[in-house]
């Protein structure tokens, strides 16, 4: 039965009748032997083939392919992209028109005519598949390729992207860029040379503490922001303000250059190195370093002079007068040492005979006999002297009355088996010296010491540089020596010169770093329209490992936002037909770490990065011989390391940061990508978006913001045909406080994708994509400017949490924040994008409008961290481990977090629609349970722990990172250091009650421990430095035992102590012993003491090793191979 006048039912009936007759006719007339006698030659006429891959799609399968393509387009729960079909009957044939969503590669297509409506629909889908493949929306396998790059030259791409590039896991060997400003050829000139002079002045905050000025002589003139700086140096309990300023040119003749070089060789080697090499115990001849030609101590790549200045003389016309009197005095001392070395050549390991020509000199009590001179006893304080038998430089503290060379030797106080009874006997037996004036009083001398890193204020950062004794911080006592005056040569330089020498390594390190930054700025070729300071570039090149009071972290965060905005805006304007998903994927490919790493290494940026703390003991001045050489074993002969896979590794044992003498050092691959972002941030800070775009162009990132494309986008929006209700636009504009010049932009910004089903050809998704990057940049810039002193990790948390509150409050894991519709957050972003276009990319105007709308903007003190991050930080500070377990139950996720306290295992559970939210809920339960037990998260305590950890060196950090990093997520990577420093064995938890509360739905307390009684099997212990600690910490994490605590004590001795066995034997004057305490739930506490070791870390390893063997003895552990 058919409905009268219903043509659709009539056509369907006729189709069925025709299909039935066709099937009957085919069955009646088919050849019964066709399947045996003939090969299969059936060819699908209605099909599309891709020759390159052999992929094909038929008319029948094309419908599903079109639906799959639409599913890949951006949508939400209010709008599901899908095709629409309209079938028309024209002269007995059916014709189908298909309309795709507006964000598809094209919008509509009409298929060929067909005898039935179903086939017409298939044919139009087949034609659409052909067109989509030709346009690149389907790949050569005929799969949706929404994520394919549209342009080959969009970015500079490598031939093959190396696996792991730009990740923290991959480590790469790189060289260090040579500083061109320090190079010079003046050393070969025989007629003198002209130098650029830079004056160093030092002013101590303690009156009376005088420091001599110095002058730096270079062949190259430095940039103004490098050669004119002020620097704060931090000494023990005092500060020294240093200033560097250009003071013109200085000419030195050949003789002056020779003397200046000799002075520099003498003082730097005498203070920070050795003037004598070789020893009797080593079986080598003892020689004076400056005895022969010293050309090998100078290199053309590191050629400068550091000379002392005379005391300020206001009447002198010269801006800096070199202290030639002091220099000549040192030259005379060198000549004396050379002659003595020649005279004693036959006595390789000793110097027999009398030293002083004043054999029959006066014995007046007011005169002190030095080697080759005399002095009044009242003029000795702060005199600088050279020990003629050791080549060490001292300053005189005082004359020690009632003493002489016949007094008991100092060594007797600490060593009962000392071979020397008196000073005279000591110098005679050890150096073969017979004192001529044994009755003279001894001089108490202040020893020279290693240079220190004075760029870090340890008093504010923690307790570095002090010792912990009985829980009280005490300063290390100064070490003095007693010596007969006749073994000393007077140097006519003031104590202020000696003081200043200890400042020079730190000042030069900062100057060298600024020179390197200036050199990179020159490579980038800045425009005259903006100036980026060397200090800002240096900040972008400095990692946290350098332990400076600045690092790239903040600039990296800002640069990431700038890069996201610039590239996103460029793509938005360049590709007006591409939808949000395509634009987002292209942007991700451009700004991903692998791409940034490739761009950075192509421009040799890795050589400029500073990735290790300044070690002044390895810093050497020109003319100085290093006493701590690190021979190159990298397998590279050149300073620059080739970008070859053999110099890449993922071996966790490879140490990052330390460099060999050729400047080769291992670096995290991600560090290079981070540096690229930090440089972009630095240029944005220094010169705005124009400067940042200039740097991106140098890097090879196409992010130009063409004004003509902006005008084109505005023009397109002005032609929108859809007009909302009369007062909608005006009302919204009044709420925004901004009137659009092009109303179509605001229309697009408030048009949801679901309106496309009603025929509207646009929606807010593209503007949302643009507005997201705009708000990200504006908020990041606001936080960067307002909070200059907060930790970069906290700054990132602020940004993340605040952006979530704008656009992702419907999905975040914060259990307290009210949930809102996603479309509302999207609209906030899309309107920001619309205002940006309407103002022709005026970021300041967008911020003026949006700042009051976004207020109150989160501040550091009001920042609410994610519950799981809170829990992680709290447990890290207490030395506890968290175990996670997730079970998928339909649409819900069950998260279970277990936390072992002293004798109670707490379990928190959460049930939510997503893993992250469920984990956050479980963390909330655990935090509440911990709060009941008096264990509360404290941000101030977290900050303090962070500060304490900042100055732990990389070797100390390495053993802690292994056990902590696995349990941390991206949310708290910035807090990795909290658990690095644990000095006290004092219990950090309140006593636990043995009575346990009943389990609840929120958090269960279980009177059980992960320790089941079955011994844990571990591999053989790595006995290298850090190995035993790593093994113990991994064991604790595995079985959820609280972290062990260490207590170390230091013992000092005046006589050398021997440590180790065989090839590992070491001698030292200090020994460390560590005591370890480990609490095992439901078993009790164990304490062990390690053996004495020469350094603290080795002592910690010894204690950890003893604990591991004790655990094995107690049946808690099985060690492989034992």
Q: Which residue has the tokens 């701590």?
A: 628
Asked, as a colleague might, if the bond just before 856 is cis with ω within 30 of 0, I would say yes
Contacts of 51 (CB under 8 A, 6+ apart): none
CA distance 477 to 496: 22
Domain residue extents for the chain: 7-34, 47-135, 171-178+525-699, 180-351, 367-459+477-492, 707-857, 865-1008, 1009-1122
CA distance 171 to 178: 22
Indicate the CATH number of 707-857 among 1.10.1520.10, 3.40.50.300, 1.10.10.10, 1.20.120.160. Answer: 1.10.1520.10
CA distance 767 to 696: 24
CA distance 947 to 941: 10
Provide the CATH number for the domain formed by 367-459+477-492 in this structure. 2.170.260.10
CA distance 501 to 505: 8
Contacts of 144 (CB under 8 A, 6+ apart): 68, 69, 72, 137, 138
pLDDT at residue 797, rounded to an integer: 62
Task: List the chain residues with pLDDT less than 70.
Answer: 29-45, 76-78, 146-163, 280-283, 312-317, 342-365, 411-418, 459-478, 526-527, 721-726, 755-761, 791-821, 858, 860-863, 939-1013, 1053-1056, 1060-1068, 1121-1122
User: What is the signed CA dihedral for 873, 877, 882, 886, rounded to 10 degrees?
Assistant: 0
H/E run at residue 199: strand 193-204
How many CA atoms lie less than 13 Å away from 701 in the CB half-sphere? Answer: 33
CA distance 641 to 171: 13
Indicate the CATH number of 1009-1122 among 3.30.160.20, 3.90.1150.10, 3.30.365.10, 3.40.640.10. Answer: 3.30.160.20
Question: What CATH superfamily classification does 171-178+525-699 receive?
Answer: Ribonuclease III domain (1.10.1520.10)
**Which three-class secondary structure state does DSSP give residue 36?**
helix
pLDDT at residue 258, rounded to an integer: 94
Question: What CATH superfamily classification does 47-135 receive?
Answer: Dicer dimerisation domain (3.30.160.380)
pLDDT at residue 973, rounded to an integer: 30
In words, the CATH class of domain 865-1008 is alpha beta
Chain-centroid distance of CA 739 in Å reads: 44
Query: CB neighbours (10 Å) of residue 401?
Result: 8
* Vertex 734 angle, CA 731 and 739, to 5°: 105
User: What is the signed CA dihedral for 263, 265, 270, 276, rounded to 10 degrees?
Assistant: -130
* Vertex 335 angle, CA 329 and 338, to 5°: 145
CA distance 323 to 316: 13
CA distance 114 to 522: 69
DSSP string, 138-176: B-TTS-B-TT--S-TTSB---SSPPTTTT-SS-EEEE--
Establish whether domains 47-135 and 865-1008 are of one fold.
Answer: yes
pLDDT at residue 798, rounded to an integer: 60
CA distance 575 to 933: 58
pLDDT at residue 577, rounded to an integer: 84
CA distance 493 to 210: 13
Q: What residues are annotated to the active site?
A: 772, 829
CA distance 55 to 522: 53
State the helix-helix crossing angle for 534-541 and 504-524, rounded to 10 degrees: 100
pLDDT at residue 493, rounded to an integer: 94
Q: Which tokens go with 680?
A: 């972009």
Q: Is this model's pTM higher than 0.85 or not?
A: no
Which tens digit of pLDDT belongs to each residue from 236-286? 889 999 999 999 999 999 999 999 999 999 999 999 999 998 776 666 778
Chain-centroid distance of CA 232 in Å reads: 24
pLDDT at residue 989, rounded to an integer: 32
pLDDT at residue 1052, rounded to an integer: 74
- Looking at the DSSP assignment, which residues form a beta bridge with residue 376? 367
pLDDT at residue 347, rounded to an integer: 40
Maximum distance among all Cα pairs of the chain, rounded to whole angstroms: 146
């Amino acid at each position: 039965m058919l409905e009268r006048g219903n043509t659709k039912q009539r056509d369907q009936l006729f189709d069925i009748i025709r299909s039935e007759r066709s099937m009957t006719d085919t069955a009646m007339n088919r050849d019964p032997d066709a399947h045996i006698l003939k090969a299969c030659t059936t060819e699908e006429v209605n099909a599309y083939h891709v020759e390159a891959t052999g992929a094909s799609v038929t008319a029948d399968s094309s419908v599903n392919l079109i639906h799959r393509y639409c599913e890949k387009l951006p949508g939400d729960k209010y709008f599901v992209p899908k095709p629409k079909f309209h079938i028309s009957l024209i002269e007995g044939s059916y014709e189908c028109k298909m309309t795709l969503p507006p964000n598809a590669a094209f919008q509509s297509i009409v298929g060929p005519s067909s005898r039935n409506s179903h086939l017409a629909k298939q044919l139009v889908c087949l034609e659409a598949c052909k067109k989509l493949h030709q346009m690149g929306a389907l790949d050569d396998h005929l799969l949706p390729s929404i994520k394919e790059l549209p342009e080959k030259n969009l970015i500079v791409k490598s031939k093959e992207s190396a696996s792991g590039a730009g990740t923290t896991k991959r480590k790469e060997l790189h060289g260090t860029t040579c500083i061109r400003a320090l190079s010079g050829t003046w050393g070969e000139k025989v007629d003198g040379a002209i130098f650029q002079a830079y004056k160093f002045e030092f002013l101590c905050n303690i009156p009376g503490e005088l420091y001599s000025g110095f002058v730096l002589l270079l062949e190259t003139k430095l940039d103004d922001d490098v050669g004119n700086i002020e620097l704060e140096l931090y000494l023990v309990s005092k500060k020294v303000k240093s200033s560097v300023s250009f003071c013109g040119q200085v000419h030195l003749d050949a003789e002056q250059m020779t003397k200046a070089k000799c002075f520099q060789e003498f003082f730097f080697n005498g203070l920070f190195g050795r003037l004598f090499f070789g020893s009797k115990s080593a079986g080598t001849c003892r020689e004076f370093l400056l005895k022969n030609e010293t050309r090998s101590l100078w290199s053309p790549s590191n050629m400068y002079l550091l000379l002392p200045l005379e005391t300020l003389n206001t009447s002198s016309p010269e801006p800096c007068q070199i202290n030639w009197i002091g220099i000549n005095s040192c030259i005379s001392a060198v000549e004396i040492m050379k002659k003595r070395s020649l005279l004693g050549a036959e006595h390789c390991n000793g110097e027999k005979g009398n030293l002083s020509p004043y054999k029959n000199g006066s014995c007046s009590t007011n005169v002190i006999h030095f080697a080759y001179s005399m002095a009044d006893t009242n003029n000795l304080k702060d005199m600088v002297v050279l020990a003629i038998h050791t080549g060490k430089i001292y300053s005189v503290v005082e004359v020690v009355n009632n003493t002489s060379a016949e007094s008991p030797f100092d060594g007797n106080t600490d060593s009962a088996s000392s071979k020397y009874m008196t000073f005279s006997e000591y110098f005679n037996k050890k150096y073969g010296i017979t004192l001529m004036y044994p009755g003279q009083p001894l001089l108490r001398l202040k020893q020279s010491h290693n240079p220190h890193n004075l760029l870090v204020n340890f008093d504010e950062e923690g307790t570095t540089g002090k010792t912990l004794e009985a829980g009280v911080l005490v300063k290390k006592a100064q070490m003095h020596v007693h010596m007969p005056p006749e073994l000393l040569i007077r140097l006519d330089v003031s104590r202020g010169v000696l003081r200043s020498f200890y400042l020079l390594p730190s000042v030069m390190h900062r100057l060298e770093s600024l020179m390197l930054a200036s050199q990179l700025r020159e490579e980038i070729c800045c425009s005259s329209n903006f100036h980026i300071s060397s200090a800002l570039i240096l900040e972008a090149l400095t990692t946290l490992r350098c332990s400076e009071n600045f690092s790239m972290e903040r600039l990296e965060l800002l640069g990431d936002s700038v890069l996201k905005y610039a590239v996103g805006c460029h793509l938005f304007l360049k590709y007006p037909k591409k939808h949000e998903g395509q634009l987002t994927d292209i942007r991700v490919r451009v700004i991903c770490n692998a791409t940034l790493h490739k761009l950075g290494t192509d421009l040799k940026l890795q050589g400029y990065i500073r990735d290790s703390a300044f070690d002044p003991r390895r810093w050497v001045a020109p003319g100085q011989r290093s006493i701590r050489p690190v021979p190159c074993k990298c397998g590279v002969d050149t300073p620059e390391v080739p970008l070859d896979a053999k110099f890449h590794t993922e071996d966790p044992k490879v140490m990052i940061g330390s460099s060999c003498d050729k400047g080769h050092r291992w670096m995290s691959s991600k560090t290079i990508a981070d540096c690229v972002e930090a440089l972009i941030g630095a240029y944005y800070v220094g010169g705005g978006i124009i400067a940042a775009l200039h740097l991106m162009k140098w890097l090879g990132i196409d992010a130009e913001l063409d004004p003509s494309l902006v005008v084109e986008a505005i023009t397109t929006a002005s032609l929108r045909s859809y007009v909302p209700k009369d007062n909608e636009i005006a009302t919204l504009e009044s709420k925004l406080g901004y009137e659009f010049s092009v109303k179509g932009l605001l229309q697009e910004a408030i048009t949801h994708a679901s309106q496309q089903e009603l025929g509207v050809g646009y929606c807010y998704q593209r503007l949302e994509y643009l507005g997201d990057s705009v708000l990200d940049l504006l908020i990041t810039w606001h936080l960067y400017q307002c909070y200059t002193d907060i930790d970069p990790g906290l700054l990132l948390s602020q940004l993340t949490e605040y952006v979530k509150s704008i656009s992702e409050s419907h999905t975040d894991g914060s259990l307290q924040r009210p949930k809102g519709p996603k479309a509302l957050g999207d609209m906030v972003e899309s309107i920001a994008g619309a205002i940006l276009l309407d103002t022709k990319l005026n970021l300041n105007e967008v911020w003026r409008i949006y700042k009051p709308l976004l207020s109150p903007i989160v501040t550091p003190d009001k920042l609410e961290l994610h519950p799981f991050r809170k829990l992680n930080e709290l447990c890290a500070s207490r030395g506890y481990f968290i175990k996670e377990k997730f079970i998928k139950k339909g649409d819900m996720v069950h998260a279970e977090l277990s936390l072992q306290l002293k004798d109670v295992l707490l379990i928190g559970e959460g049930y939510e629609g997503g893993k992250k939210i469920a984990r956050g809920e479980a963390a909330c339960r655990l935090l509440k349970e911990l709060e009941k037990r008096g264990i509360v998260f404290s941000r101030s305590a977290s900050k303090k722990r962070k500060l304490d950890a900042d100055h732990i060196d990389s070797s100390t950090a390495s053993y802690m990172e292994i056990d902590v990093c696995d349990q941390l997520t991206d949310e708290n990577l910035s807090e990795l250091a909290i658990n690095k420093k644990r000095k006290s064995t004092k219990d950090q938890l309140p006593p636990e009650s043995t009575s346990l509360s009943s389990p609840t739905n929120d958090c269960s307390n279980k009177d059980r421990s992960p320790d089941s009684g079955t011994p844990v099997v571990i591999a053989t212990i790595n006995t290298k430095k850090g190995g035993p600690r790593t093994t113990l910490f991994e064991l604790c994490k595995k079985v959820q035992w609280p972290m062990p605590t260490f207590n170390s004590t230091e013992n000092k001795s005046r006589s050398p102590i021997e440590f180790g066995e065989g090839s590992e034997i070491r001698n030292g004057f200090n020994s460390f012993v560590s005591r370890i305490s480990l609490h095992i739930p439901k078993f009790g506490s164990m304490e062990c003491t390690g053996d004495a070791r020469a350094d603290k870390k080795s002592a910690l390893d010894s204690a950890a090793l003893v604990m591991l063997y004790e655990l094995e003895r107690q049946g808690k552990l099985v060690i492989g191979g034992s």
